[in-house]
Amino acid sequence: MSNVLDVSAKGVFPIAVTPFTEDGQLDLASTDRMVDFYLECGANGLTILGILGEATKLTADESRTFVARVLARVAGRMPVVVGASAPGFAPMRELATSVMDMGASGVMVAPAPTLRTDEQIVAYFDMVAATLRERCPWVLQDHPVSTGVQMAPSVILRILGNAPTCVMLKHEDIPGLSKLSAIRAASEQGTVRRVSILTGNGGGLFLPEELTRGADGAMTGFAYPEMMVEVCKAHAAGNVERAHDVFDAYLPLARYEQQPNIGLAVRKYLMAKRGVIASAALRKPRAQLTAADVADIERLVKRQATRLEALK
Amino acid sequence: MSNVLDVSAKGVFPIAVTPFTEDGQLDLASTDRMVDFYLECGANGLTILGILGEATKLTADESRTFVARVLARVAGRMPVVVGASAPGFAPMRELATSVMDMGASGVMVAPAPTLRTDEQIVAYFDMVAATLRERCPWVLQDHPVSTGVQMAPSVILRILGNAPTCVMLKHEDIPGLSKLSAIRAASEQGTVRRVSILTGNGGGLFLPEELTRGADGAMTGFAYPEMMVEVCKAHAAGNVERAHDVFDAYLPLARYEQQPNIGLAVRKYLMAKRGVIASAALRKPRAQLTAADVADIERLVKRQATRLEALK
Amino acid sequence: MSNVLDVSAKGVFPIAVTPFTEDGQLDLASTDRMVDFYLECGANGLTILGILGEATKLTADESRTFVARVLARVAGRMPVVVGASAPGFAPMRELATSVMDMGASGVMVAPAPTLRTDEQIVAYFDMVAATLRERCPWVLQDHPVSTGVQMAPSVILRILGNAPTCVMLKHEDIPGLSKLSAIRAASEQGTVRRVSILTGNGGGLFLPEELTRGADGAMTGFAYPEMMVEVCKAHAAGNVERAHDVFDAYLPLARYEQQPNIGLAVRKYLMAKRGVIASAALRKPRAQLTAADVADIERLVKRQATRLEALK
Amino acid sequence: MSNVLDVSAKGVFPIAVTPFTEDGQLDLASTDRMVDFYLECGANGLTILGILGEATKLTADESRTFVARVLARVAGRMPVVVGASAPGFAPMRELATSVMDMGASGVMVAPAPTLRTDEQIVAYFDMVAATLRERCPWVLQDHPVSTGVQMAPSVILRILGNAPTCVMLKHEDIPGLSKLSAIRAASEQGTVRRVSILTGNGGGLFLPEELTRGADGAMTGFAYPEMMVEVCKAHAAGNVERAHDVFDAYLPLARYEQQPNIGLAVRKYLMAKRGVIASAALRKPRAQLTAADVADIERLVKRQATRLEALK
């Protein structure tokens, strides 16, 4: 493994949570343990300060502290991507420069929610590329559910054509399988250079199908990243049915974790239960689990364990 | 079975598709077969002219023809609910009066997309109730994904309190499990009368959990309604694990069918494949399946068959 | 004047209201008077069944009755455009065929609210053109505030290039002056054929500036259509300052009438006050004026009369 | 004048722009001049780092530098309100604490764009009040156009009832006149304490009517703040017609400046033209004026000068 982020990236880049203590402070000890956990699971990279990393709830100082801690613990063993979407280019450049200086491998940028036409979107990412400068590899995040911006395949191809520093597409559009096929077809025909595509569609809920369409792996945050690692490995080895078998075993719980709004609370509950982080606490504003939610989760975890046993 | 729609309704009310011939005409022979199919699957009711019934693509005459054909074939063997959401109350009353005269059991109404505040939503449904008059039982459809309107539990309770003719809640909010719990708690405490609650959350993707929270059944459109029937029966019989087992066996395909945009094309493909309808054609504007989509579906159907075999 | 609608259309096409009696019935006597009023004001055409014509609150029968009555009263003295936006192409074709058979001059179509990418929008209007067939001239309505769809100038040019039957752009985007300039520049350079452009930006709140950018007139619904007629005439005569003078005299009231939500109630109040329609009643769901609103309007009307006196 | 912000605040609080040099750096000399300009115009307070202050385009350091500079120049001569809306409460508290320590008089907070139901909105502002603590007076910003959140009058009353530190409502809803009337009626009936209400509806486009409904003044950013000062003074002196006369004289230009998207560019152009700021430059992403836009503005400025002359 290396910490370089380029178009050859593949495998699983979990979207890390940001651990807090019960009283809402950054939990750096849990941060270390979380990094170790992802490495042990076989992660090929890590993404921090994404939407589900509660990035917007951190102060600027806390963000820097958290990034530094993660990078120190990773110690070059895998690339680390940092979320850098911002409403203005001045704070975007500041954050990107700062995290690249600290040792990050690249940043991830989603379109501003106000963009609508193809032209506006392409122009925006031209400015992003100019803002980030030549030594900063970046990931284009296509996530209409959170941004409201729909990027046609032709728009993505234009962005990739304009910006040599864009090395990866994080594909999260739904429906997105046809889009994925279209982008892969374009690079196979030589219309555009081939970049890495990692998917996060519905939190990975279409992972086996996406790999079949040409995705290089997953960038998403399910509390059982080993599922994504196994699915990617089986698929890469040509064992597509095995990839589906593994995926199906985890699907009922993954589905529950992907509920909008309470999903992150479910994920943190599971990661605390697994001993990865000390507390499942989210910062405000936040959704909270009820006793009935926890009962649902516990049932699903138990049933999952049985299925995993059968799968061995 | 009877064709009355009241607060005691339970079980499965499939959302019917509207069958078209390859060249886009209403397919009445397939309509008959579809009604038979739903009855054979054990459906407890039927919902027609919903969003996924392509209601807005029919002319007024076609709507009447389709409703009449369905009602004739059902022949009183189960209640039929007709979607009646409309931007104005004059066409809503016209449609409701017309279908009730034809023999429908009730209508379903979602909030107008422009509503925002609690007060506006409550006032709107007061007008709906006045528009539909006393002899028309109606279903309150809570579907924020399509309407953009979020109804708090307290708002739903106020609507139920104001409108004695509202006999059912179609619950499709995500996250919705806590809302479901809150509404059931209110009727258990006697704050509000108990109405029937059928769920369609993500096309039934949370059915077992919803039944645990007090739902009476499902109103949604998966191409394998027998899944929903079996899950409801097992759950009603107290066999919750069995309900989950059945659900899990169908989940990978149900997930695929629930993709926004191409979902209805998937459903119609499956129903045509099963011989229920003659053609998978949708009317324009429409999404279309690619060869790769069909390959995905075929793989999932095959894998599902294996799981169902094991489940027996 | 003739009733043909083609690319040479210019001047003022008021957006007609739909008159109701106090108890909510279609008011056909007021419909006649309204047609006469628009003709007396110097209107060059008429648009009916638009959003502010409460089209969605009419039953299918009422729509036909209203269209027939308007066409009978107009009696070929000016072209009549009928709003035909619909969620599906079957009802769009039915409505368009029906009103063209009755003697309408063309129809107006806005993009479906679900469209996002350039490709989707262009494909949609290709289908619209195919749906309407060759003998139906149509108006492309660009109204992002109500549809949520933003059409770039390049998209509009592609639509015009593809559809010879599209004879007019109804321009209502804000900010839209630059878009207007871009479209006119394209036809001057011969990139695209020149179509008629009528504007409705904010209810005509930018009319003098739009004429300067190359608009051919206005299609909007202010209760004093004579303002738009005079502004257009003065501008066409090269008297731009006079055009602004007239416009400014009406602006305070026009601004008040353009408030979202209560705007149509203000317009109908004014038209009833002017004796054009018998009642200011809107159909439900509707906004209603308070006594304080009426006091505002009365003050503005009085002040406007003084300014108009000074302008003579 | 004093720098205290409490429920007795009235008059005009301009929304300040953030001046940049031609090459995009913070322009502190222009910042000083701008503060002087607002004081000379008769401003009763100042609001900085709002949406139209390009707050999101500043780095954290730049924000602090700008706030410090403004406060130093104001030197206690009027209250300064700082925009503090943030997606999380940790950065909101950090910013609020920091600017209050520097000498700001209060902060302004809008609802998070994800809020929908009455309950969610009330709960959110309970958390805001808890986050800001007791010594920080704050302004509740009601601006549905930018947030998408519609707050019913009853919701605003609940927020005011819960949070004694909320001293002002910035009212920017359209249609908002009835809401304004409802809130004033409640405090007159003693249902809720009376807070200051400043309005910004459409950039002040309804100022005379809002004063009649009980507003205490304006908080908005028109490049001619003297208009708002004069309108408020005339209205307070009981000369309502004079208030309208002044307002009407500026309306054609105010209307042009309120265009979505290019509005801020128009405002900065005018402020640079008036010598208040050295450059009209906006930071990216930004809209830019064309030569035709500038021609429009110059014509409107000239016509406005003539009207003002006549008004003397």
Chain C residues within 8 angstroms (CB to CB) of chain A: 116-120, 150-152, 154-155
Element (H, E) at B218: strand B217-218
**Token digits of residue C111:** 């993009």
Closest alpha carbon to A175 in C229, B255, C184 = B255
Mean pLDDT of D21-47: 98
| Residue D24 reports pLDDT greater than 90 | yes
Tokens for A194, please give them.
Answer: 């081939």
The pLDDT tens digits for B117-130 are 999 999 999 999 99
Who contacts A105 (Cβ-Cβ below 8 Å, separation ≥6)?
A: A3, A4, A5, A45, A79, A80, A81, A137
pTM of the predicted protein model: 0.94
**C-beta contacts of D215-219 below 8 A and 24+ residues apart:** D215/D171, D215/D180, D216/D9, D216/D10, D216/D11, D217/D9, D217/D10, D217/D11, D217/D12, D217/D13, D217/D44, D218/D12, D218/D13, D219/D12, D219/D13, D219/D14, D219/D15, D219/D45, D219/D47, D219/D81, D219/D139, D219/D170
Edge-to-edge strand list for the sheet holding C138-142: C11-12, C217-218, C196-199, C166-171, C138-142, C106-109, C80-83, C46-48
| Interchain proximity A284–D127, CB inside 8 Å | yes
Q: Which residues are within 8 A (CB) of D81 and not within 5 positions of it... i.e. 6 or more apart?
A: D5, D13, D45, D46, D47, D48, D104, D105, D106, D107, D108, D139, D219
Q: Are strands A106-109 and A138-142 parallel, antiparallel or unpaired?
A: parallel
Cα A49–chain centre separation? 10
- For residue A117, list chain C residues with Cβ-Cβ distance below 8 A: 118, 150-152, 155
**Pair B269, B295: CB distance under 8 Å:** no
Chain A residues closer than 8 Å to C158 by CB: none
Confidence of residue A1 (pLDDT cuts 50, 70, 90): low
Structure tokens at A77: 């063993």
- Note the pLDDT tens digit of each residue in A236-264: 999 999 999 999 999 999 999 999 889 99
- CB-CB neighbors (< 8 A) of A86 in chain D: 56
Interface contact A88-D60, CB threshold 8 A? no
Ordered structural domains, chain D, with CATH: 11-250 (3.20.20.70)
| D18 contacts on A by Cβ (under 8 Å) | none
The number of angstroms, rounded, from the C-alpha of D309 to the middle of its chain's C-alpha atoms is 28
Burial (CB < 10 A; 0-12, 13-18, 19+), residue C238, is exposed
- Residue in the structure block whose two tokens are 């047609």: C35
Q: Does the pLDDT of residue A203 top 90, yes or no?
A: no
Q: Which residues of D touch A87 (CB under 8 A)?
A: 56-57
pLDDT at A122 over 60: yes
Q: Which residues pair with B80 in a beta bridge?
A: B46
Q: How far apart are CA C186 and CA B99, in angstroms?
A: 52
Q: What is the mean pLDDT of residues A177-202?
A: 93
The reply to whether residue D59 touches residue A112, judged by beta carbons under 8 angstroms, is no
pLDDT given for residue D237 in this prediction: 98
CB contact at 8 A, B16 and B55 = no
- Which residue matches tokens 């950018």? C213
E strand or H helix that includes residue B138? strand B138-142
Cis peptide preceding B285, ω within 30 of 0: yes
Lowest-pLDDT choice from A11-15, C229-233, D142-146: D142-146
Give me the mean pLDDT over the B246-255 stretch.
98
- Interval B173-188: pLDDT, tens: 876 899 999 999 999 9
Q: How many CA atoms lie within 13 A of D56 on its CB side?
A: 14
Whole-number pLDDT of residue C251: 98
Helices (H), B205-287: 207-212, 225-236, 240-257, 263-273
Please provide the average confidence, as pLDDT, over all residues in chain C.
95
Q: Is the dihedral of CA D23, D24, D27, D31 positive or negative?
A: positive
Contact C175 D296 (CB under 8 A): no
C267 vs D71: CA distance, rounded Å: 47
Q: Please tell me the predicted confidence (pLDDT) of residue C1.
A: 57
pLDDT recorded at residue B1 = 57
Q: How far is it, in rounded angstroms, from Cα C116 to Cα C120? A: 6
In this predicted structure, which of B264-268, C275-279, C281-285 has the lowest mean pLDDT? Answer: C281-285
Amino acid in position C196: S
Closest residue, chain D, to C208 (C-alpha): D296
> Taken in order D252, D257, D259, D262, is the CA torsion positive or negative?
positive
Mean pLDDT of B82-105: 93
Tokens coding C11: 């001047």
Residue D153's contacts (CB-CB under 8 Å, 6 or more residues apart) are D179, D182, D183, D186
User: Measured between alpha carbons, how far is D142 from D174 in angstroms, rounded to an integer?
Assistant: 10
Whether omega for the bond prior to residue B175 falls within 30 degrees of 0, making it cis, is yes
What are the tens digits of pLDDT across the range A63-88?
A: 999 999 999 999 999 999 999 998 88
With CA atoms as reference, report the closest residue to B112 among C202, C288, C265, C286.
Answer: C286
What residue of B is the nearest CA neighbor of C126?
B285
Instruction: Give the pair of three-digit tokens for residue A249.
Output: 């075993």
In the chain, the amino acid numbered A148 is G
CB contact under 8 A, C116 and A116: yes
Q: How many CB atoms lie within 10 A of CB B272?
A: 18
Q: Do A175 and B259 touch (CB under 8 A)?
A: yes
Flag if A118 and C120 touch (Cβ within 8 Å). Answer: no
According to the model, what pLDDT value does residue D146 have?
86
The pLDDT of D59-84, averaged and rounded, is 96
pLDDT, position A312: 84
Confidence of residue D201 (pLDDT cuts 50, 70, 90): confident
pLDDT over threshold 60, residue D49? yes
Write the pLDDT tens digit of every residue in B195-218: 999 998 777 899 999 999 999 999
Which residue of C89, C116, C125, C261 to mutate against B (max B Cβ within 10 Å)? Answer: C89
pLDDT digits (tens, 9 = 90+) for D257-275: 999 889 999 999 999 999 9
Q: What is the pLDDT of residue B303?
A: 98
Tokens (6 digits) for B226: 């027998």
pLDDT in tens, A263-278: 999 999 999 999 999 9
- Asked whether the beta carbons of D114 and D104 are under 8 A apart, the reply is no
| Alpha helix segments (H runs only) across chain A | 28-41, 60-74, 89-102, 118-132, 144-147, 153-162, 177-188, 207-212, 225-236, 240-257, 263-273, 291-311
Cα separation, D185 vs D181, whole angstroms? 6
- ipTM score assigned to the predicted complex: 0.96
Q: Which of D263, C102, D258, B71 is nearest to C94 (CA)?
A: C102
What is residue A86's predicted lDDT score, i.e. its pLDDT? 86
Residue D211, both tokens: 């004063």
Looking at residue D1, what is its pLDDT? 57
Comparing CA positions, the residue from C228, C266, C173, C213 lying closest to residue C46 is C228
Tell me the CA end-to-end span of chain D in Å, nearest whole number: 27
Residues of D with CB under 8 A from a CB of C: 174-175, 177-178, 181, 205-206, 209, 212-213, 241, 244, 247-248, 251-252, 255-256, 259-262, 287, 290, 292-293, 296, 299, 303
Q: If you ran DSSP here, which 8-state letter would residue D283 be given? A: P
What's the whole-number mean pLDDT along residues B104-112? 96
Longest dimension (CA), chain D: 54
Side-chain half-sphere of A80: how many Cα atoms within 13 Å?
26
> Mean pLDDT across the stretch D131-151?
91
Cβ–Cβ below 8 Å for D292 and C252: no
Can you read off the two tokens belonging to residue B197? Answer: 């609650």
3-state secondary structure of B225: helix
pLDDT digits (tens, 9 = 90+) for C164-173: 999 999 998 8
**Is the Cβ–Cβ distance between A284 and D89 less than 8 Å?**
yes
Q: How does residue A134 score in pLDDT terms, banded at 50, 70 and 90?
A: confident
Contact A118 C118 (CB under 8 A): yes
Best mutation target, B115, B116, B122, B179, to test chain D (most D CBs within 10 A): B116
Mean pLDDT within B290-310: 97
- Average pLDDT taken over every residue of chain D: 95
Q: Which residues in chain A have Cβ-Cβ distances shorter than 8 Å to C119?
A: 118, 152, 154
Helix (H, G, I), strand (E, B) or coil at A81: strand
Contact D176, D143 (CB under 8 A): no
Checking A244-247 for CB contacts under 8 A at 24+ apart, the result is A244/A208, A244/B252, A244/B299, A244/B303, A245/A311, A246/A311, A247/A207, A247/A208, A247/B252
For residue C272, the model assigns a pLDDT of 98
pLDDT of amino acid D312: 84
Of the pLDDT bands very low, low, confident and very high (cuts 50, 70, 90), residue C15 is: very high
Distance between CA C163 and CA C122 in Å, rounded?
10
Beta carbons of D155 and B120 less than 8 Å apart? no
Distance CA D163, CA D121 (A): 13
